Amino acid sequence: MSMYLQQLINLIQLGSIYALLAIGFSIVYGIARLVNFAHGPIFMVSTYLIFYFATFMYTVTSNSWVVYACSLPFAIIFTSLLAVVIEKIAYRPLRGGPIVALVVSSVGVGMILEYGVLLLIGPVPKRMPVLIKDIPFMIGDAKISLASIVIIIVAIISMILLSLFINHTRTGVALRAVSQDPIAASFMGISRSLIISVAFILGAVMATIGASLYTTIYFTFAPYMGDRVNWYSFIAAVIGGIGNIKGAVLGGFLLAALNVVGAMVLPVSTYKDVLVFAVLIIVLLLKPTGLLGKKIIEKV
């Protein structure tokens, strides 16, 4: 019984992190129509930013809550700036051209970020200082760490804030309008360039929050981790229905469930990747636009 409770909490914390990543991926796709291969690398860069801010903050104070509360906004500001700059340099000149060019360009951006970090900092994995203090406590005979509860709470708060932003602010409404119909939105006086920048910022913010939570669980991180994170968020977003935020959350939790249950049930835990891809392919074959995706009507 206690094992199941522990696994359930595991599942929820992993699911909320995947959901954050998938949301970032999905927003960028919904607005800019870009399968963003640079999403994982941005996540990776943000872990390094958090790492350096946190190590710096630990020289000032030893309270982990203060460190977390200070280094996260710093990292968010810098990754957002990075995302805007990338959009200006690598994606904006390509607008209106073939979509594949945009995707290939994002592949290039991902490479630059990955090898840039490799060159500047080196390939040796680093260990994140404690961001969220882990105080284990017991429910019945199940050992539950406070960190996982905090992770879940932080993820839920950021999702609520995001949905408030999207549903109740002018920018949020503009965001939805562009994702629904870019041309009609521009007739209403919405600047598409501005909204695309906002989308990239939101994607980067979600990736940074996700990164801070991810490294709280796994501690070590290296330049190469971006790739894996990239296709995990890609898969979660697509299973749910890419461009759809609710779908991204659903996809994130589904992916986490596959991971946790797969590790419990399968004889060799490395087979769980096989399971994930198999489920992905089957879902897309049955529902080609994802679980919550809208049906695309093709016009000639």
Partner 1 sequence: MKKVVKKVLFLCLWLALLMLLQQTSILSNTLKLILQYIAIYSIMVLGINIINGYLGIFSLAHAGIMAIGGYASSLISMYLLKAPIFFPINLLLGGFVGMGVGLIIALPSFTVKGDYLAIITLGFSLLVQSLLQNIDAIGASRGLRPIPKNTNIFWVGLTLFLAIFLVKRFIGSKYGRSLLAIRSDSVAAELVSVDVKRTKLIAFGLSSFLISIAGGLICHLLSYTNPGAYGYSLIIEGLIMVYLGGIGSITGSILGATIWQILVETLRFIGMWRWILGAVILISLMIFKPTGLFGNKEISVKWLRTIYTNVAQKLTHKKGGRV
Q: Pick from 73, 125, 136, 288: which binds partner 1 (CB under 8 A)?
A: 288
Decide whether 75 or 256 has the Cβ nearer to partner 1.
Answer: 256
Tokens 């690398």 sit on residue:
41
Closest to 211 measured CA to CA, from 75, 110, 93, 100: 75
Burial tier of 163 (Cβ tally within 10 Å: 0-12, 13-18, 19+)? middle
Q: Using the rule CB under 8 A, is 97 a contact of partner 1? A: yes
Q: Which of residues 13-52 bind partner 1 (CB under 8 A)?
A: 29, 35
Alpha carbon distance 60, 96 (integer Å): 49
Q: Pick from 116, 135, 139, 294: which binds partner 1 (CB under 8 A)?
A: 116
DSSP-derived letter for residue 241 is -
On whether the CB atoms of residues 148 and 10 are closer than 8 A, the answer is yes
Determine the length of the chain: 300
Q: Using the rule CB under 8 A, is 118 a contact of partner 1? A: yes
For the bound state, the minimum distance from the C-beta of residue 89 to partner 1, rounded and expressed in Å, comes to 8
Q: Pick from 59, 62, 98, 189: which binds partner 1 (CB under 8 A)?
A: 98
Q: Using the rule CB under 8 A, is 94 a contact of partner 1? A: yes
- DSSP H or E run through 153: helix 146-168
Q: Using the rule CB under 8 A, is 160 a contact of partner 1? A: no
Decide whether 214 or 234 has the Cβ nearer to partner 1.
Answer: 234
Alpha carbon distance 235, 227 (integer Å): 12
From 124-132, 143-151, 183-191, 269-277, give the range in contact with partner 1 by CB under 8 A.
269-277
For the bound state, the minimum distance from the C-beta of residue 269 to partner 1, rounded and expressed in Å, comes to 10
For the bound state, the minimum distance from the C-beta of residue 281 to partner 1, rounded and expressed in Å, comes to 5
Compute the 3-state secondary structure of the chain and give helix, strand, coil in percent, each to the nearest 5: 75, 5, 20
Distances (CA, A) of 194 to 81, 157, 211: 14, 26, 25
Q: Which of residues 177-236 bind partner 1 (CB under 8 A)?
A: 227, 231, 234-235
Alpha carbon distance 58, 67 (integer Å): 7
For the bound state, the minimum distance from the C-beta of residue 279 to partner 1, rounded and expressed in Å, comes to 9
Residues found near partner 1 in the complex (CB under 8 A): 29, 35, 89-90, 93-94, 97-98, 100-105, 107-109, 111-112, 115-116, 118-119, 227, 231, 234-235, 238, 242, 268, 270-271, 273-274, 277-278, 280-281, 284-285, 288-290, 296, 298, 300
